[in-house]
Amino acid sequence: MRILLIEDDGLIGDGIKNGLEKPGFAVDWFSDGNEGHEALFQAEYDAVILDLGLPGRDGLSILKDWRNRGRSEPVLILTARGDVDERVAGLNSGADDYLGKPFSLKEVQARLNALIRRKNGVSAPEIVYRNVTFNPQSRKTFLNGREVALSPKETALLEALLFNRNKVLSKEILENKLYSWDDEVSSNAVEVHVHHLRKKLGKDIVKTVNKLGYITED
């Protein structure tokens, strides 16, 4: 899942980026309001983490502009102020969820997962596909009830495929979801991950659609 993070505090931004990338999120981090605002239009993000107390351009105005321009990415707002009025103002401006400082990474991750699940029309905490069960929060994958060790990128690939069932996902889309701007991507990275996924979960887990991409079919 690709996340856009806009946070001006160096240590918090760095911590969230590292903390989310570890389990396989791809995070683009911007500390300037204007740059972060533009970034949403440069890649397809699954969710946005937006700090309200941003210098340059304040978080609420960024959010309002996105919504006015028809962007519907789920937005999780971070703020140091915890008063009700501000929370209401944030939610009214189009925020999907709200998190007051100090928060823990686990909570950020849980809320992001909930937002992404909701966006993809999934309400159960676990995704079941044939004999594979995937838990987005714990990042664990089970084959016939037994846990299978997947790398973070393989997990992210499986997550992307399972959330977009019956849709053909091009190599570019998958790369976009798996890697942030900071990552160096080798040309066959997606093929390698698909290969590993098939080896671990069975050949049928993902089908190759010639010249178009990959699909997970019911």
Least distance to another protein, CB of residue 94, Å: 22
44: left (phi over 0), alpha (psi -120 to 50) or beta: beta
Instruction: Quote the least distance from Cβ 67 to another protein, whole Å.
Output: 22
7/73 with CB nearer another protein: 7
Total of residues contacting another protein (CB under 8 A): 26
Per CB under 8 A, the list member of 42, 92, 104, 131 interacting with another protein is 104
Nearest to 73 by CA among 106, 97, 99, 101: 97
Nearer to another protein, 106 or 199 (CB): 106
Q: Site mask, another protein, residues 46-75, x = CB under 8 A?
A: --------xxx-------------------
State yes or no: residue 19 binds another protein (CB under 8 A): yes
| Least distance between another protein and beta carbon 161 (Å) | 25
Written as one letter, the residue type at 20 is L
Binding to another protein by residue 97, rule CB under 8 A?
no
* Choice from 4, 16, 160, 205 touching another protein (CB under 8 A): 16
Indicate whether 149 belongs to the interface with another protein (CB under 8 A): no
| Residue placing its CB nearer to another protein in the complex, 103 or 129 | 103
Q: Which of 15, 87, 143, 170 binds another protein (CB under 8 A)?
A: 15
101 binds another protein (CB under 8 A): yes
* Residue 132, token pair as written in the block: 């594979």
Residues near another protein (CB under 8 A): 8-12, 14-16, 18-19, 22, 31-33, 54-56, 80-81, 100-106
